[in-house]
Amino acid sequence: MGDTILTVKDLTVQFWVGDEWFTAVDKLSYTLKAGEVLAIVGESGSGKTQSSMSLLGLLPPTGRATGSANLKGTELVGMSIQELREIRGNEVSIIFQEPMTALNPVYTVGFQIVETLRTHYLMSPTVAKERAIELMTLVEIPSPADSFDKFPHQLSGGQRQRIMIAQALACEPKLLIADEPTTALDVTVQAEILKLMRDLRERVSAGIILITHDMGVVADMADRIIVMKDGVVVEHGTSQEIFKNPQHPYTQQLLAAVPHLAEHVDGDELSGPPQTIIMVDDVPVPLSEPRSDKPRPS
Ligand SMILES: Nc1ncnc2c1ncn2[C@@H]1O[C@H](COP(=O)(O)OP(=O)(O)O)[C@@H](O)[C@H]1O
Ligand SMILES: [Mg+2]
């Protein structure tokens, strides 16, 4: 595992509701290393999404963040919208739950990956197309050269999510945030995407934050797990610790909600691949040839 890329300290997110500040995330602290997968787990409303959105200036206007989030020496909390926009494009990628809302319905998926590439790198259209097809191959889109010219609605939900992942990997982010990346998919497709994420994890070196309400999703994927409830961290440990010896009743409850995991919680070795896993990720994706393109100076 590499250097620390993200250090979050006492991150607090609040929303102005009615006539007072509601605290959605209360003094969250963690660190993330390159190549590491940190899962943030908790039921709906526990503050998982807003804790990440706040890092990127994506809170709604009624929200505010305090505390500190240091991305490789850059303080994100309090940064201008303009600066954060650049960070979002270059250093950090996000994979959302619902790819249909993140992809533009009027452009082909290939064009959208090419646009992402050309926004970040000085690249000819031909080279960008080659690279886009490489990325589509990496995320196991069938017949990538043909799929390049398809519109989002012509692909299945699982394939759209693969395209989102390809797009997220395009700019080789240092940090990849995956917010419930498989929740909208049916169980079979979910398992396929999780397998892809596990495979990619071996091939890219970004730090990954995997957000999910489902412990089953993190079992094979996370190095460390933060369990959140009502905006507060109730438990934080290595995957091993959390799965083998969960301390907090809420963690035990989350584990019990995943039937095929619950039987292992007593301390048995986890055996066999769980049906779900997770992902998020990014970084220097090993491709067939080193690219000569230089990142566009910003
Ligand atoms: N725009 C908003 N205004 C007020 N409260 C919000 C807003 N967005 C989210 N919240 C609240 O913040 C809390 C955390 O939300 P969120 O991070 O989206 O939860 P999770 O991703 O864990 O489901 C919830 O109680 C939610 O209702
Ligand atoms: Mg959420």
Q: Where are the domains of the chain?
A: 1-91+175-196+205-283, 101-172
Ligand 1 pocket, residues with Cβ under 6 angstroms: 15, 17, 22, 24, 42, 44-50, 60, 62-63
HSE (side-chain half, CA atoms, 13 Å) at 60: 7
Say which residue, 227 or 289, is predicted with more confidence: 227
CB neighbours of residue 239 within 10 Å:
19
Mean pLDDT, range 200-221, rounded to an integer: 87
Closest C-alpha to 254, from 235, 280, 278, 275: 235
More confident residue, 188 or 28: 28
For ligand 1, atom 27, the nearest C-alpha belongs to 45
Q: Whose CA is nearest to atom 25 of ligand 1?
A: 45
Q: Which of 184, 253, 233, 257 is nearest to 40 (CA)?
A: 233
Has residue 275 got a pLDDT over 60? no
Q: Which residue has the higher pLDDT, 293 or 281?
A: 293
Q: How far is the CA of 44 from the centre of ligand 2 (A)?
A: 6
pLDDT value for 286? 27
Q: Indicate if the pLDDT at residue 194 is higher than 60.
A: yes
Position 283 scores a pLDDT of 26
H/E stretch holding 209 reads strand 207-212
Residue-wise pLDDT for 1-51, tens only, equals 789 999 999 999 999 999 999 999 999 999 999 989 999 999 999 999 999
How high is the pLDDT of residue 254? 94
Alpha-helical (H) ranges within 121-256 are 125-138, 144-147, 157-170, 187-203, 215-218, 239-244, 249-256
Centre of ligand 2 from the C-alpha of residue 179, in Å: 7
Task: Please tell me the distance between residue 117's alpha carbon and the centre of ligand 2 in angstroms.
Answer: 28
**pLDDT above 80 (res 260):** no
Answer yes or no: is pLDDT of 271 > 70: no
pLDDT in tens, 151-184: 999 999 899 999 999 998 898 889 999 999 888 8
pLDDT value at residue 191: 84
- pLDDT in the model for residue 99: 67
What does the mean pLDDT of the chain come to?
85
| Number of the ligand 1 atom closest to the C-alpha atom of 180 | 21
Q: Residue 117: which H helix or E strand, with range?
A: helix 109-120
Q: Ligand 2 centre from 144 Cα, in Å?
A: 31
Q: Give residue 2 CA to ligand 1 midpoint distance, Å.
A: 32
Q: Which CATH superfamily is domain 1-91+175-196+205-283 in?
A: P-loop containing nucleotide triphosphate hydrolases (3.40.50.300)
Radius of gyration of the CA atoms of the chain, in A: 19
Range among 53-62, 67-76, 266-275 with highest mean pLDDT value = 67-76
* Per-residue tokens: 113: 């990956």
Q: Which ligand is nearest to the CA of 62?
A: 1
For the CA of 43, the nearest atom of ligand 1: 22
The string of DSSP letters for 1-43 reads ---EEEEEEEEEEEEEETTEEEEEEEEEEEEEETT-EEEEE-S
Number of the ligand 1 atom closest to the C-alpha atom of 230 = 25
**Separation CA 220–CA 277 (nearest Å):** 6
Evaluate whether 37 touches 280 at the Cβ level (below 8 Å): yes
Measured from the CA of 42, which atom of ligand 1 is nearest? 22
Whose Cα sits closest to atom 1 in ligand 1? 60
Res 293: pLDDT: 41
Mutate to test the pocket of ligand 1, among 15, 21, 48 (most ligand atoms within 8 A of CB): 15
Give residue 292's pLDDT. Answer: 37
Q: What is the pLDDT of residue 117?
A: 93
Write out pLDDT tens, residues 97-144. 776 678 999 999 999 999 999 988 889 999 999 999 999 999 999 999
Rounded to whole angstroms, the Cα distance separating 178 from 210 reads 5
Q: Closest-lying ligand to the alpha carbon of 42?
A: 1
Question: What CA–CA distance (Å, rounded) separates 97 from 6?
Answer: 23
pLDDT at position 261: 63
pLDDT class for 186, splitting at 50, 70, 90? confident
Q: What is the pLDDT of residues 62-100, one digit of tens each?
A: 999 999 999 999 999 999 988 988 888 788 988 887 766
Main-chain phi, psi angles of 70, to 5 degrees? -105, 115
Nearest to 30 by CA among 64, 57, 5, 2: 5
